[in-house]
């Protein structure tokens, strides 16, 4: 029997690690990931200001896994009903049970020029490219426009503003966030939004909410009502779409995380409706917590199919999206929601650091966890 996990991000790595503990030794576990690298994406913005941390945020999957076969191929088509994957090189992979954890891609919503002119923070090398594009602005002055005021947009803007301050360039560098919603980041608790807005303002970042981007040219952003905003660097952080292999959309899955008879989904690849009927946010912590649910359900189906497949299927585990709090970096500053409390300053930085180091330690990247604490504090 073969179980295939597609994607080596938070959900995919977590599923594979849990399956190694729960599946019989004769069940093959394949993790298909084109890069073979686990990128700690929720900390990737730090590499814009501190390039030296990039290496500790990109960890070979083989170092984090045991008997799992790491398959470095790119999936171009995934038939979740038939249990069949087609790769970019024309090869194929047949599997009995699987998990779609490929992760989302940046969404540009058909905005003319956004993809052509916008730098994104999505893969390991993107932080270096954003930093490289910012260097001329540091030297000569100018404006950076960040399209999108979600967590990624806020944290990118924070890193750039702090980098400008560290280079004594804040007086001639302007960082502007354009967000369509009425507050940043959209969807967070109002008290958290207020604290983040205050931190952004303190960092000298211009936040313009209720602003819809309609087009992007080589040196200016078009907004509603025919107005334009000139820029020297444009960063796009406006949203996500599903992976191409499953039709570029995020299919909806119930609390069991079941996508088809043989396939489950977790992380950004799917939209999860938890057992309380709420849509789970596409965040690192939700993907991490969905992984054991998927692994447990796959293990139950493996046991069922190997014992008496003619009997009723076992009851499947269900995911509940408990609010465990939020941590957001704004350069060297941070804001954290811990229970009913909103923390800022050193206390929030400490929480953010502990959360990041805790994740690295949990996946077996102990040296990277130590390095993260050393760099952050």
Would the pLDDT of 372 be above 90?
A: no
pTM, entire model:
0.93
Element (H, E) at 248: none
Upper half-sphere CA count for residue 35 (Cβ side, 13 Å): 13
Q: Which residues contact 272 (CB under 8 A, 6 or more apart)?
A: 252, 253, 255, 257, 265, 266, 279, 280, 286, 290, 319, 321
Mean pLDDT of the chain: 94
Task: State what percent of residues in the chain have pLDDT above 90.
Answer: 86
| pLDDT value, residue 35 | 95
Q: Is the peptide bond before 185 cis (omega within 30 degrees of 0)?
A: yes
Confidence grade of residue 309 (pLDDT, cut at 50, 70, 90) = low
pLDDT digits (tens, 9 = 90+) for 37-55: 999 999 999 999 999 999 8
Domain spanning 2-104+242-324, CATH architecture: 3-Layer(bba) Sandwich (3.50)
Torsion sign across C-alpha atoms 324, 189, 285, 124: negative
Element (H, E) at 346: helix 345-362
d(CA 10, CA 58): 12
Asked: is 114-236 a CATH 3.40.50.620 domain? The reply is no
pLDDT digits (tens, 9 = 90+) for 273-304: 999 999 998 889 999 999 999 999 999 999 99
Upper half-sphere CA count for residue 355 (Cβ side, 13 Å): 23
The segment(s) of the chain belonging to CATH 3.50.50.60 are 2-104+242-324, 114-236
């Amino acid at each position: 029997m073969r179980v295939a996990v597609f994607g080596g991000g938070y959900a995919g790595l977590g599923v594979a690690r849990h399956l190694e503990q729960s599946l019989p030794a004769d069940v093959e576990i394949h993790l298909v990931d084109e890069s073979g690298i686990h990128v700690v994406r929720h900390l990737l913005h730090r590499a814009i200001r501190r390039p030296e941390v990039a290496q500790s945020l990109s960890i070979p999957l083989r170092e984090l896994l045991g008997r799992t076969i790491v398959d470095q191929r790119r999936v171009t088509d995934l038939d979740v009903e038939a249990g069949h994957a087609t790769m970019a090189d024309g090869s194929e992979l047949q599997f009995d049970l699987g998990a779609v954890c490929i992760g989302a891609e940046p969404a540009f919503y058909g905005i003319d020029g956004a993809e052509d002119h916008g730098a994104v923070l999505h893969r390991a090398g993107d932080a270096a490219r954003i930093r490289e594009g910012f260097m001329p602005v540091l030297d000569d002055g100018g404006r950076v426009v960040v399209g999108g005021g979600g967590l990624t947009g806020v944290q990118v803007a924070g890193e750039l503003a702090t980098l400008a301050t560290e280079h004594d360039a804040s007086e001639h560098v302007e960082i502007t966030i354009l967000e369509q919603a009425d507050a940043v980041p959209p969807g967070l608790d109002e008290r958290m939004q207020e604290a983040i807005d205050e931190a952004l303002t303190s960092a000298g970042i211009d936040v313009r909410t209720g602003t819809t981007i309609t087009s992007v040219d080589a040196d200016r952003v078009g907004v509603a009502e025919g107005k334009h905003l000139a820029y020297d660097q444009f960063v796009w952080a406006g949203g996500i779409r599903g992976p191409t292999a499953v039709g570029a959309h995020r299919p909806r899955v119930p609390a069991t995380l079941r996508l088809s008879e043989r396939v489950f989904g977790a992380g950004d690849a799917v939209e999860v409706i938890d057992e309380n009927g709420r849509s789970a946010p596409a965040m690192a912590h939700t993907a991490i917590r969905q992984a054991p649910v998927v692994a447990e359900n796959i293990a139950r189906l493996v046991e069922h199919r190997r014992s008496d497949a003619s009997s009723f299927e076992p009851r499947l585990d269900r995911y509940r999206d408990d609010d465990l709090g939020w941590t957001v970096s704004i350069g060297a500053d941070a804001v954290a929601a811990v229970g009913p409390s909103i923390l800022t300053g050193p206390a929030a930085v400490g929480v953010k650091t502990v959360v990041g180091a805790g994740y690295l330690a949990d996946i077996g990247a102990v040296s990277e966890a130590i390095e993260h604490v050393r760099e952050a504090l």
